[in-house]
Amino acid sequence: MILSFLFFILLGCFASWLVTHLLLSARFAENETCEKQHHHTHSGSMPRIGGIGIVTAFGIVYLLCFIFLDDRDNTSLINYAVAAGAVGAFILGFIDDFRPLKARTKFAGQIVLALLAYYSGLSIERVGIPFTEIQIHLGIFGVLITVFWFVAIMNIMNLIDGLDGLAGGIGLMLMLLLVYLSYQKGSQISGILALGMTGALVGFLFHNFPPARVYMGDSGAYLIGYVIAALALMNAEKGTVLAALMAPVLALALPIADVGFAMLRRSFQGLPIFRPDREHIHHRLLRSGLSSRNAVLVLYCFSLLAFFGGILVFTWQGRYLPLFFGFAVALLLLVLRGQKMSLAGLRAAVESSLQGRKETRNAISLQHWFLLEIERVDSGQNAWEDYHFFLKKLGFCRAEMEVSGESRSFFIEGTPYNQDELLWVGRQNLVNGASLVVYGEKDNFSQAQFELLCDIVTESWNKASARWKELHGSILTFDTEASRPQNYNAQKARNLYRPPN
């Protein structure tokens, strides 16, 4: 049995490593790399092709199931649903990696995959309560819970892919957990697929561990998330569904908590809840002075603790769950104390965020306006005038921008010019080597609100630059001229454009 385990792990590892290595050597999708954005932690551009190596390894291992297992083991619709859904999740993410889809489109695609899984037998229809013989039949709610399960796991894996090696490492721990669950349940196919994915992630981490040469992209994240959700359900039997699902949930405790806090934070601030930012736990670790490698190792340690908690919950049917939660609460309080955060401080931070909601919503509305105007402007100079107007409307009293060696600035008369005790100063690095320095009066902004607005205006220029390049094929500078309109409506929109005074 040990040799069989090693075979599938090594096979998945070699296939994933080799395919990714060959794609990198061939410079596959060289022009479709992930450009650095202001909330990303990597430098330069990064190819998002790691998912191809992972799905290749998954496909090879799945096909070998027909050779190593009895034919009757592969007649279940559930087994085909795992493979078909995994490939479907990969394709959805692959399209989004290279031709970004709207959030609604991706969400709809994920729901379709989850519904197909449900009607193929990968469903949550009843839940057994630990320590009792009680069975709760979910009825129609089973569909909703199953869809939520698949969509949530896929998106959690995607959202934690913000630091080199983080998503791959946490995914690896989850696959090892699923290997254990499959072994305990005697489920051969789910065990073999989990072993193959374990090896695939090890092979991927050879290229992704800091400093990374490749990202898994949405294709890899959606694939891993779907496989985790599907294999967890394959290991769930009557009376033990809750324990089988709680195990991977606990193993994902760190990213779930991080995503949950991020959604609450953005809601308090008046931001879209899925908007990227630089306040995730790995961003905070990096700002504390840790290197990318050390930060991901710290997060691995926390995830490893959660991993063992998941094993205990499954093995003892929830008997150790209260103990684990108690330890987690104590650890959380210790972390808050280490960050010098008190309940009064947290209350003040929440109140400050709620008070600034209107200003944040106004900033988001102005950002939408500015990005729409980029589609109408005929020059980089007019783009700057719109941006200048955008900055003033947000309350900045002074700004200096440098793009390709040229500078533009503005200053509101009657405001402090260079007095540090009266001004907040935000220095931002933009795409294409550009830079921005903005100033705001301390009487008008709290520090937190000023930093949030700096983040929004930085994101706005970066998105505008990306949109300009998509429309006109050139880098946005002050001297850039727009290409000729492609149709009558585009020409009319440009004729109607008037830069703000």
51-55, 284-288, 373-377: segment of lowest average pLDDT: 284-288
Distance CA 15, CA 458 (A): 40
Distance CA 153, CA 201 (A): 17
Question: Of 500, 457, 474, which Cα lies nearest the Cα of 404?
Answer: 474
Which helix (H) or strand (E) is 408 found in, with range?
A: strand 406-411
pLDDT band of residue 218 (cuts 50, 70, 90) is very high
- Residue 65's CB is within 10 A of a number of other CB atoms, namely 18
Distance CA 255, CA 159 (A): 8
266-270, 337-341, 387-391, 408-412: segment of lowest average pLDDT: 337-341
Domain over 356-496 is classified CATH 3.40.50: no
21-30, 344-353, 480-489: segment of lowest average pLDDT: 344-353
Return residue ranges of the chain for CATH 3.30.450. Answer: 356-496
Q: Which runs of consecutive H residues, i.e. helices, occur in 186-320?
A: 188-208, 217-234, 241-251, 253-269, 281-287, 292-315
Tell the residue number behind the tokens 């196919």, with chain if given.
189
Interaxial angle between packed helices 380-393 and 357-374, expressed in degrees from 0 to 180 and rounded to the nearest 10? 170
51-58 average pLDDT score: 94
pLDDT band of residue 131 (cuts 50, 70, 90) is low
At residue 38, the pLDDT reads: 47
Token pair for residue 160? 């934690």
Question: Of 234, 247, 246, which Cα lies nearest the Cα of 122?
Answer: 234
pLDDT tens digit string along 320-330?
666 666 666 66
Q: Please say whether the beta carbons of 62 and 193 come within 8 A.
A: yes
458-472 average pLDDT score: 92
pLDDT band of residue 153 (cuts 50, 70, 90) is very high
At residue 239, the pLDDT reads: 40
333-362 average pLDDT score: 65
Interaxial angle between packed helices 241-251 and 292-315, expressed in degrees from 0 to 180 and rounded to the nearest 10? 160
Q: What φ, ψ does residue 439 adopt, rounded to 5°?
A: -130, 140
pLDDT tens digit string along 172-212?
998 998 888 888 777 788 888 999 999 999 999 999 888 88
Q: Say what percent of the chain tops pLDDT 90.
A: 34
70-80 average pLDDT score: 67
CA angle 61, 62, 67 (to 5 degrees): 85
At residue 241, the pLDDT reads: 57
Dihedral sign for Cα atoms in the order 267, 271, 274, 277:
negative
pLDDT tens digit string along 230-254?
998 887 754 445 666 777 877 787 7
Distance CA 292, CA 297 (A): 9
Which range is most confident: 116-120, 180-184, 489-493? 116-120
User: Could you tell me the pTM of the whole model?
Assistant: 0.79
70-74, 212-216, 350-354: segment of lowest average pLDDT: 70-74
143 alpha carbon, distance to own chain's centre: 25
| 190 compared with 272, residue with greater pLDDT | 190
Which helix (H) or strand (E) is 328 found in, with range?
A: helix 321-338
pLDDT band of residue 416 (cuts 50, 70, 90) is confident
443-468 average pLDDT score: 90
18-22, 352-356, 457-461: segment of lowest average pLDDT: 352-356
